[in-house]
Amino acid sequence: MSEPLEFTGERFTPECVREIWYEHFHRYVIARDLVNGLDVLDAACGEGYGSALLAPVAQSVTGIDLSEEAIRHAEERYSSENLRYQVADCLALPFENDHFNCVVSFETLEHLSDHQALLAEFRRVLKPGGFLLISSPDKAIYTDKQNNKNEFHVKELYREEFEAVLRDFFPAYRLLGQKLLFQSAIWSLENEPGVVFHQENGGELDRCETPRHEPVYLIAIAAADADSLPQIRPGVSLFDDAGESVYEHYYHEIRKNMASGELLIEKDREIAELKSSLQESRPVTPWWRRLLGK
């Protein structure tokens, strides 16, 4: 396997861990469930990990990226008969009209200023009945609320702006939201279907079928018409790794903070004892010496 691609912050690499790993891999897990037997374009594929995840189930996968370094790395690291990578510009795709069944493009839109040109190209290369999977951060949450400032983002969109530009080229779409959540999970051990979320808010309890949180990322499944939209079975998809890295890191930090707190308490106790000992051993100056200033 080739050496990891250097992480600069511009594009994700699989060597990133925990939260950012969950976010990026989960999107491709959703895509993988939808592209069985299809010819897929992974636009702005980065170092290639996502295209490689799709290849085992797709008919073919073509990963493109503007970075020659990223494509060279992808070709060295990932290999499959139905998988290929090439250097290409998403705003000028080197493919004929009606070429792919599905275009996947995660976290690309915000890196460009000409969103109309990007979606026009995606629509052009999609076959009749094909669909687009695209994601982008919601500026209201990602930037305004969480105070993120990503130097590589050229033009972020609010949800209404994202939906407006989608409608110009893909009148039919379904919108999904993505956010890392920390929750207690209770599930059936007898494979019974159904998902319910309970949320406490100021002493009030709410019961709902979807999370009430504001998503950080918007994921759209878009097509020319409603009949071309693929069906997503679960209303909620949960993703983690077998090692539970985010959960384990959380408990590691908690244990570390607790140990630090206990250490501070012990140090405070030792300081108090030393002060008390010093005060007890200090000789008392007679009153007449204090009066004479001696």
> 3-state secondary structure string, 253-288?
HHHHHHHHHHHHHHHHHHHHHHHHHHHHHCCCCCHH
Distance of CA 1 to the CA centre of its chain: 25
Tokens 């409608």 correspond to what residue?
167
Q: For residue 275, what pLDDT is reported?
A: 80
Provide the residue-wise pLDDT of the chain in tens; the chain has 294 residues.
Answer: 566 666 665 666 666 666 888 888 899 999 999 999 999 999 999 999 999 999 999 999 999 999 999 999 999 999 899 999 999 999 999 999 999 999 999 999 999 999 999 999 999 999 999 999 999 999 999 999 998 888 889 999 999 999 999 999 999 999 999 998 887 777 778 777 778 888 878 888 888 878 888 999 999 999 999 999 998 876 788 888 888 887 787 767 777 777 777 777 778 788 877 787 777 766 656 655 655 665
Beta strands 126-137 and 60-65, pairing class: unpaired
Q: For residue 5, what pLDDT is reported?
A: 63
User: How is domain 19-182+200-239 classified at the architecture level of CATH?
Assistant: 3-Layer(aba) Sandwich (3.40)
Beta strands 60-65 and 83-87, pairing class: parallel
Q: For residue 215, what pLDDT is reported?
A: 92
Contact 101/39 with Cβ under 8 angstroms? yes
Three-state DSSP state, 219? strand
